[in-house]
Amino acid sequence: MARKYFGTDGIRGRTNQTPMTAEIAMKVGQAAGAYFLRGTHRHRVLIGKDTRLSGYMMENALTAGFTSVGMDVTLVGPMPTPAVAMLTRSMRADLGVMVSASHNPFADNGIKLFGPDGYKLSDEAEAAIEAMIDGTVGLAPAEAIGRARRIEDAQGRYIQTVKASFPEHLRLDGLRVVIDCANGAAYRVAPTALWELGAELIQIGVDPNGLNINEKVGSTAPGALQAKVVETRADIGIALDGDADRLIVVDDRGEIVDGDQLMALIAAAAARDGRLAGGGVVATIMSNLGLERFLAERGIALHRTPVGDRYVVEAMRAGGYNIGGEQSGHIVLADHATTGDGLIAALQVLAELVISGERAHRLLRQFDPLPQLLKNVRFSGGQPLDDDAVRTVIAECERELADAGRLVIRKSGTEPLIRVMAEGEDRALVARVVDRICDAVRRAA
Q: Which residues lie across from 422 on neighbouring strands?
A: 373, 407
Query: Sign of torsion, CA 371 406 373 367?
Result: negative
CA distance 420 to 434: 6
**112 within 8 A of 120, measured Cβ to Cβ:** yes
Number of Cβ within a 10 Å radius of residue 312: 28
Of 102, 219, 287, 328, catalytic:
102
Question: Is residue 165 among the annotated active site residues?
Answer: no
Strand partners, 17: 20
Question: How many angstroms separate the first and last alpha carbons of the chain?
Answer: 22
Q: What DSSP element (H or E) covers 411?
A: strand 405-411
Measured distance CA(14)–CA(107) in Å, rounded: 6
Bridge partner list, 111? 11, 99
Distance from C-alpha of 274 to C-alpha of 411, rounded to nearest angstrom: 38
| Contact by Cβ (8 Å): 341, 333 | yes
Cite the active site residues: 102
